[in-house]
Structure 1
Amino acid sequence: MLGALFNIKSLTESNMSKPFIVVSDGMDSGVFSDLRNTDGLEVHPEKKVSQEELKTLLPKVEGLIIRSATSPDKAFLDAAPNLKYIIRAGEGTDNIDKAYCQEKGIKVSNTPGANNNSAAEHALALMMTTLRHTANADKSMKNNEWNKAAFTGNELWNKTVGIIGFGRIGQLLCKRLQGFEPQVLFFDPGVSESPFPWAKKVDSVEEIFKTADVISLHTPLIDATRGMVNYDLMSKMKPSAILVNAARGKIVNEDDLYKILSEKKIKGAGFDVFAEEPLGESKLRELENIVLTPHLGGSTEEAQFRVGEMAAHQMKEFFLNNKLLNEVGA
């Protein structure tokens, strides 16, 4: 009889246990504090953990909020038997094995739109930095040099800008470019026309690569775009043109990019994303005609707040109200 009562008590306590939530890759401090204080959730006390520490938490974790630093692959997911929900704080979910999540019954969401403005602004910043050589000029000045003649650049005003992928971020970039009075060409098979009179749809990616002075990539990483930007395509660019990628690294063949830049077939490039992140030993680091940033597209205080707030809200809705928001399928 006592044994039966003990078992019932243990089952009741188990049912009353709070879902264990881990935020692995950082979150706005105020938003994290609010999430930790949520009744009904047990939240790991650190808003950022190392990958080694995360491994020790996986057997217990039920809800996980990640950014690009964490990649839930098959081995990761097998080590998390209680995991029910992953939120990608951001938009791209190619770092998650969504097919295996679906097989295991783990739900996946993202936070669409929350960092779009920051990503569009960073693409514009890469354009300006590449065109005006400001990164190299800054390095030169800090080496006690005054080499003004070495850093003559180009204006963005009145240039032809090609945007590959005309979704939310591509359209925001187009809007932000208006003050430079450009001609904008865009390619996106899912968008029939532009809401902006200064932007015109073209029939092919090749047309943009042949005619644009500045090309900015804003496509998702799917089978059709993986490795899409290769040596043949970049060879069609004007010698004076630049290429910007603030979308997904694997859209571009990095060996071909190195070859194009080292041969000086184009003027330069600005890249925020890479095939493997963090970027390890890469030949791209050797080049003077490429600006490299460590995936900063969504790294503004404003975007971090919006992304964190959205992710925290979705986590609460899932575990406390049985609502799944912004689900991403396999």
Structure 2
Amino acid sequence: MPRPTALLLGTIGHARKEWESLSEIAELKEITTGTRESVIQDFKDGKYDGVVAIYRTYDSAQITGRFDKDFVSQLPSSVRFLCHNGAGYDQIDIEPCTARGILVAHTPGAVNNATANIAMMLILQALRKTYIAETSLRKGTWRGQLPLGHDPDGKVLGILGLGGIGVALSTRAKAFGMSLIYHNRREAAHNPAGAEYVADLAQFLGRCDVLSIHLPLTEVTRHYLGKKELLGLKKGAVLVNTARGAVIDEAALVEVLEAGHLGSVGLDVYEEEPKIHEGLIKREDVVLFPHIGTFTIETQKKMEVLVVDNVCSALTRGKLLTVVPEQKGKEAEIQENR
């Protein structure tokens, strides 16, 4: 029987050896340049017929664009598995994949610690308004107009989404003396730091001294926090987002900041990356990072290895290790749709 084929979309920087080791069980192909149109044409020409599993990097969106219904419909009929490098997978429309019998994997767990570290860093910097301190120093004005900051001790940290990253943040924040509450659709099964569950969103927001966002971006969570919700936070509260920018209505956030309702903000993600709302850039009470939550050697390696492991499992066992929640428990049924 012919060997299966695995296709890499994008480039691998830290687990190249692991990817190439798959050549023992499969033929390996790669697409590292091109356009959405050229890739689709290659699919139509049969260049990638026989591909069973696709390794998709986050940055490969610059080549293919979104894995939307149109793009998924152009994939070779042999494709059964799509292995995405990223805990968030909002670049992929799951429904058309499911309809075609394609299972999708992501990289939960691998990103937890690094992203939680960035969230904690943003919390501390937003509380102390370190941007003002650093820019003043670099301008030669020592502290400049730096106001007194706030300590994290005793502050109520609200975690919106107590998943893997939220749990990792909760253990870090507890070490800084913060009180912990969280809001999920349902009570979390894993809560090692003992955060208090608050089922009502409005009540939850009203208790937050600091709000840290850890929701995936879906059609349900897009603009989950609009003007009403942002004004529902305590006056002077700190808001931090390391999830996805579009979970917040960015224009509303700027409006609420300009009204003086929030104390400060720390952001690693934006609604239209890499574009950032001008109203955020010009403010000294906003700490801005360029989406570096998982930007460490160790975490990038863990993520890439996990994707390779998913491809390997798909090719050898016909199963994914970390299937996306929408498909979890339905794998056999989905594959039967083929």
Say how many residue pairs are matched. 312
Is residue 40 from structure 1 mapped to residue 25 from structure 2 by the alignment? yes
Query: Alpha carbons of 1:119 and 1:54: their partners in 2 closer, same or farther (altered >3 Å)?
Result: farther
| Cα deviations by residue, 1:264-283 (Å, 9 ceiling, x for unpaired) | 21111112222233335654
Residue 91 of structure 2 is matched in structure 1 by: 95
Q: Do the aligned partners of 2:174 and 2:193 also contact (CA within 8 Å) in 1?
A: no
2: CA distance between counterparts of 1:50 and 1:271? 31
2: CA distance between counterparts of 1:44 and 1:133? 48
**What TM-score, normalized by structure 2, do the two folds share?**
0.82
Q: Do the aligned partners of 1:36 and 1:42 also contact (CA within 8 Å) in 2?
A: no
2: CA distance between counterparts of 1:154 and 1:148? 18
What RMSD over aligned residues (CA atoms) do the two structures have, in Å? 2.7
Q: Give the alignment partner of residue 73 of structure 1, picking from 33, 52, 68.
A: 68
Q: Do the aligned partners of 2:114 and 2:294 also contact (CA within 8 Å) in 1?
A: yes
Tell me the SS of whatever aligns to 2:35: helix
Structure 2: segments with no counterpart, 5+ residues: 328-338
Tell me the SS of whatever aligns to 1:306: helix
**What TM-score, normalized by structure 1, do the two folds share?**
0.83
1:106-121 alignment, distance < 5 Å: 106-121=102-117
Query: Alpha carbons of 1:147 and 1:157: their partners in 2 closer, same or farther (altered >3 Å)?
Result: same
1:1-330 alignment, distance < 5 Å: 16=2, 19-24=5-10, 26-29=11-14, 31-38=15-22, 39-44=24-29, 49-50=32-33, 52=35, 55-56=38-39, 59=43, 60-61=47-48, 62=51, 63-69=53-59, 70=61, 71-81=66-76, 83-191=79-187, 195-196=191-192, 199-279=195-275, 282-328=278-324, 329=326
For structure 1, which segment, 185-194 or 161-170, has the greater mean C-alpha deviation from structure 2 after superposition? 185-194
Q: Do the aligned partners of 1:27 and 1:305 also contact (CA within 8 Å) in 2?
A: no
Q: Do the aligned partners of 1:27 and 1:304 also contact (CA within 8 Å) in 2?
A: no
2: CA distance between counterparts of 1:269 and 1:50? 37
2: CA distance between counterparts of 1:285 and 1:141? 19
For structure 1, which segment, 60-69 or 123-132, has the greater mean C-alpha deviation from structure 2 after superposition? 60-69
Query: Alpha carbons of 1:290 and 1:42: their partners in 2 closer, same or farther (altered >3 Å)?
Result: farther
Structure 1: segments with no counterpart, 5+ residues: 1-14
1: CA distance between counterparts of 2:6 and 2:167? 38
Residue 4 of structure 1 is matched in structure 2 by: none
AA at the equivalent of 1:247: A
Query: Alpha carbons of 1:77 and 1:51: their partners in 2 closer, same or farther (altered >3 Å)?
Result: farther
Q: Do the aligned partners of 1:130 and 1:242 also contact (CA within 8 Å) in 2?
A: yes
**Cα drift, residue 230 of structure 1:** 1.0
Q: Do the aligned partners of 1:182 and 1:198 also contact (CA within 8 Å) in 2?
A: no
Query: Alpha carbons of 1:192 and 1:45: their partners in 2 closer, same or farther (altered >3 Å)?
Result: closer
Q: Do the aligned partners of 2:129 and 2:264 also contact (CA within 8 Å) in 1?
A: no
